[in-house]
C-alpha cells in the first residue's frame, strides 16, 4: 500500500520533518546520482533557480565525483533559496562545467550527452512554459536521448497533472518520499514515465491521514475473501443483480460476468419479464427471475413482485441497462429502502440522483463523469478536470462509497481515500462498467466491506486489460484477465 500526496501536503511534511532543507536536498541529489550513475557516462542537467534546481546541482556534483562527463545548464543565476545558492557554489569547487542556456549552443551541446536530466521546476509548477524554458523542453523532447525528471516533469502541474502547452517527456521520474498527484492525473501520467520514489529520510508517519492510498498486488491478494475449504455455495454469498430493459438487454449479462469473477457462491439475476426470453440461456450460471414490468421497464409493480418471492440476498447490484423514465424512478425509490449492501450503477444513478442524501454507508455508487453530473449538476468535462476535489467534497457530505470512474478512478468514503492508478484506454468501451459493478457486488456478498469491495474490484478490473491488445479487447475478456492476474503472487 502506497501513499500519493499533493505538492502542498508534501511541502507541509518537509517543514514538519525537522530535517534542514540543505540535508533533504543533499539526500535527494546524492540518491538520484547513485541511481543513475550506471545508466551512462554523459549527463546534461537542466537546472532551474528553485529547490528543484538545487537538487540538480547536487546530482551533478555527485556524478562528477563518480567520474562522469557532466554539464549543468542554468537559465538564470537569481537563485531563490540559500540551499540552492550553496549547492551552485559547490559546483565550482568540484569544477563542474556550467553554462547559461542559449538555444543554438544548446542544440550543439546536447548532441554530446546521452542523458538529459530535468531539474528545472519540480512539483510546484503552474501555468505554461515560455521562452528559454519552452525551447529547452521542446528540443529535449525531440531528441533520441534518455530523459529523466526530478520530482515532476517540467511543465506538469504537480497538483492536477495539467499541461498547458508543453512538458518534458520523461522516461523515468525520481520523486522524493512519496509519489505526487500530478504523476497520475491527466497529461502528467503520460509525461512522467516510470516513477521511482527516493527515500530522503522523512518518516512515513508524518503523512498519516494525508493524500490518497493506492493498493499494490500483494495488498489485493491479502484482501480477497478467505475460505477454509469446506464451504458450500451458500456460504460464499448470494448476490442479486437487477437490471435491463427493452432498450438494453446485454447489460445484466455483463453484470453476471463480473460477479462470476468474484468467487461469489450464488448469482440471481432479475429482469423485466419482457426481455426474459432474450436472456434465458445466455448466462447459465445465474438464476433468472422475471419481474412484472411496464412496457419493458421496471416500475413499482416490479419491486412488489420481487419482494413477493421472499428471497434473501447478501448484496444487490442495480441500475445497469434499466433506462431513464419515471417508472424506473418509482422502482429505484423502493430499492433505496432495503437494508442491504447495494451497488447502484448507470441509469440507477440517474434515477436516485436527487436522493443521494438517503444513501447509507452500505451503498456504493459507481458513476462515470456524465452520471456524476446528474448528482452535482456540473458538466462532465468540469468533473473530469476536478475529479479529486469533487470526490473529496462528496465524501465529506454523504455516507455512501463513491467510486468515480476514470483514469485514475477515485474511491472515497468519509476518511477513506483511494486512487486506482492502474488501467488504460482499453477499458473505455461500452459494457466495461457493467462488469465492474457485478464484480463489486460479488465481493460485497462475501462480507468484504463496501470501500474495499470497490478498491479490490477497481484494481482487478483495470489491470485485467493489460493482457490484451488495444484493438480487440472487449469487456467480456475481463474475467480472463482477472484469472491471469490472480495467478501471479507478484505483479508490477
Residues 63 and 91 in one domain: yes
C-alpha cell at 236: 460464499
Residues 243 and 199 in one domain: no
Please give the Cα distance from 451 to 413 (Å, whole number): 7
C-alpha count within 13 angstroms, C-beta hemisphere, residue 46: 31
Any idea what DSSP says for residue 121?
S
Asked if residues 475 and 431 have their Cβ atoms less than 8 Å apart, the reply is yes
Residues 166 and 236 in one domain: no
Q: What is the pLDDT of residues 25-59, one digit of tens each?
A: 999 999 999 999 999 999 999 999 999 999 999 99
C-alpha count within 13 angstroms, C-beta hemisphere, residue 85: 5
Residues 227 and 365 in one domain: yes
Mean pLDDT, the chain, whole residue set: 97
Which CATH number fits the domain that encloses residue 189?
3.40.50.10260
Closest alpha carbon to 126 in 234, 6, 241: 6
Give the residue numbers spanning the domain of 404: 217-485
Contacts of range 250-253, beta carbons closer than 8 Å, 24 or more positions apart: 250/321, 250/431, 251/320, 251/321, 251/346, 251/431, 251/434, 252/279, 252/283, 252/320, 252/321, 252/434, 253/279, 253/282, 253/283
Residues 127 and 243 in one domain: no
Residues 142 and 194 in one domain: yes
- Residue 490 forms part of a structural domain: no
- 492, pLDDT greater than 90: no
Please give the Cα distance from 462 to 465 (Å, whole number): 6
User: What is residue 82's predicted lDDT score, i.e. its pLDDT?
Assistant: 97
C-alpha cell at 386: 476536478
Domain end residue (candidates: 182, 208, 234): 208
User: What total of structural domains would you count in the chain?
Assistant: 2
Residues 173 and 69 in one domain: yes
- Dihedral Cα 293, 297, 298, 299, nearest 10 deg: -80
- Residue 492 forms part of a structural domain: no
Q: Burial-class residue 439 by CB neighbours within 10 Å (0-12, 13-18, 19+).
A: buried
Residues 144 and 235 in one domain: no
Distance of CA 319 to the CA centre of its chain: 24
Per-residue pLDDT band for 140 (boundaries 50, 70, 90) equals very high
Residues 124 and 76 in one domain: yes
Please give the Cα distance from 124 to 50 (Å, whole number): 10
In percent, the amount of the chain with pLDDT more than 90 equals 99
Residues 197 and 269 in one domain: no
Cα–Cα distances in angstroms (integers) from residue 178 to residues 31, 197, 201, in the given order: 15, 6, 11
Please give the Cα distance from 137 to 191 (Å, whole number): 12
Please give the Cα distance from 141 to 46 (Å, whole number): 13
Which CATH number fits the domain that encloses residue 295?
3.40.1190.20
Domain end residue (candidates: 208, 227, 247): 208
Its pTM stands at: 0.95
- Residue 431 forms part of a structural domain: yes
User: What is residue 491's predicted lDDT score, i.e. its pLDDT?
Assistant: 83
Q: What is the pLDDT of residues 286-336, one digit of tens each?
A: 999 999 999 999 999 999 999 999 999 999 999 999 999 999 999 999 999
Domain end residue (candidates: 208, 230, 251): 208
Task: Average the pLDDT over 154-159 and give the result.
Answer: 98
Q: What is the pLDDT of residues 118-138, one digit of tens each?
A: 999 999 999 999 999 999 999
Residues 231 and 132 in one domain: no
Q: What is the pLDDT of residues 340-357, one digit of tens each?
A: 999 999 999 999 999 999
Residues 125 and 151 in one domain: yes
Q: What is the pLDDT of residues 195-244, one digit of tens each?
A: 999 999 999 999 999 999 999 999 999 999 999 999 999 999 999 999 99
User: What is residue 489's predicted lDDT score, i.e. its pLDDT?
Assistant: 86
- Residue 152 forms part of a structural domain: yes
- Residue 283 forms part of a structural domain: yes
User: What is residue 490's predicted lDDT score, i.e. its pLDDT?
Assistant: 84
C-alpha count within 13 angstroms, C-beta hemisphere, residue 341: 24
Please give the Cα distance from 93 to 87 (Å, whole number): 10
User: What is residue 199's predicted lDDT score, i.e. its pLDDT?
Assistant: 97
Per-residue pLDDT band for 339 (boundaries 50, 70, 90) equals very high
- Residue 344 forms part of a structural domain: yes
User: What is residue 72's predicted lDDT score, i.e. its pLDDT?
Assistant: 98
Q: Are strands 341-344 and 363-365 parallel, antiparallel or unpaired?
A: parallel
Amino acid at each position: 500500500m502506497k501513499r500519493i500526496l499533493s505538492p502542498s501536503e508534501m511541502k507541509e511534511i518537509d517543514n514538519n520533518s525537522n530535517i534542514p532543507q540543505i540535508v533533504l536536498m543533499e539526500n535527494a541529489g546524492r540518491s538520484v546520482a547513485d541511481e543513475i550513475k550506471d545508466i551512462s557516462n554523459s549527463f546534461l542537467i537542466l537546472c532551474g533557480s528553485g529547490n528543484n534546481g538545487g537538487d540538480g546541482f547536487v546530482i551533478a556534483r555527485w556524478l562528477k565525483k563518480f567520474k562522469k562527463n557532466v554539464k549543468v545548464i542554468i537559465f538564470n543565476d537569481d537563485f531563490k533559496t540559500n540551499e540552492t545558492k550553496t549547492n551552485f557554489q559547490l559546483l565550482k569547487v568540484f569544477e563542474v562545467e556550467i553554462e547559461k542556456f542559449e538555444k543554438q549552443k544548446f542544440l550543439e551541446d546536447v548532441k554530446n550527452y546521452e542523458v538529459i536530466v530535468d531539474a528545472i521546476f519540480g512539483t510546484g509548477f503552474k501555468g505554461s512554459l515560455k521562452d528559454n524554458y519552452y525551447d529547452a523542453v521542446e528540443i529535449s523532447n525531440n531528441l533520441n536521448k534518455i530523459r529523466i525528471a526530478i520530482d515532476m516533469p517540467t511543465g506538469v502541474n504537480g497538483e492536477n497533472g495539467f499541461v498547458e502547452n508543453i512538458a518534458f517527456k520523461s522516461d523515468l521520474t525520481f520523486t522524493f518520499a512519496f509519489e505526487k498527484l500530478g504523476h497520475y492525473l491527466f497529461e502528467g501520467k503520460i509525461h512522467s514515465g516510470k516513477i521511482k520514489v527516493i527515500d530522503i529520510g522523512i518518516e512515513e508517519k508524518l503523512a498519516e491521514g494525508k493524500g490518497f492510498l493506492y493498493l499494490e498486488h500483494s495488498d489485493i491478494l491479502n484482501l480477497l475473501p478467505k475460505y477454509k475449504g469446506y464451504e458450500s455455495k451458500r456460504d460464499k454469498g448470494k448476490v442479486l443483480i437487477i437490471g435491463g430493459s427493452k432498450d438494453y438487454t446485454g447489460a445484466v449479462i455483463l453484470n453476471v460476468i463480473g460477479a462470476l469473477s468474484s468467487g461469489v457462491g450464488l448469482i440471481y439475476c432479475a429482469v423485466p419479464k419482457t426481455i426474459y426470453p432474450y436472456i434465458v440461456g445466455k448466462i447459465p450460471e445465474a438464476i433468472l427471475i422475471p419481474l412484472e414490468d411496464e412496457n419493458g421497464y421496471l416500475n413499482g409493480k416490479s419491486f412488489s413482485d420481487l419482494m413477493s418471492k421472499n428471497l434473501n440476498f447478501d448484496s444487490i447490484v442495480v441500475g445497469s441497462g434499466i433506462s431513464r423514465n419515471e417508472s424506473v424512478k418509482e422502482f429505484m425509490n423502493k430499492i433505496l429502502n432495503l437494508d442491504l449492501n447495494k451497488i447502484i450503477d448507470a441509469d440507477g444513478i440517474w434515477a436516485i440522483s436527487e436522493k443521494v442524501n438517503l444513501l447509507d454507508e452500505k451503498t456504493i455508487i459507481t458513476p462515470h463523469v456524465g452520471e456524476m453530473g446528474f448528482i452535482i449538476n456540473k458538466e462532465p468535462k468540469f468533473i473530469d478536470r476536478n475529479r479529486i476535489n469533487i470526490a473529496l467534497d462528496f465524501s465529506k457530505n454523504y455516507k455512501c462509497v463513491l467510486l468515480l470512474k476514470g483514469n485514475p478512478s477515485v474511491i472515497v468514503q468519509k476518511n477513506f481515500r483511494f486512487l486506482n492508478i492502474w488501467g488504460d484506454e482499453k477499458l473505455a468501451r461500452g459494457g466495461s462498467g457493467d462488469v465492474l459493478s457485478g464484480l463489486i457486488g460479488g465481493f460485497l456478498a462475501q462480507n468484504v466491506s463496501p470501500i474495499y469491495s470497490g478498491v479490490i474490484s477497481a484494481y482487478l478490473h483495470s489491470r485485467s486489460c493489460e493482457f490484451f491488445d488495444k484493438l480487440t479487447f472487449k469487456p467480456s475478456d475481463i474475467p480472463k484477465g482477472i484469472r491471469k492476474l490472480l495467478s501471479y503472487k507478484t505483479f508490477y
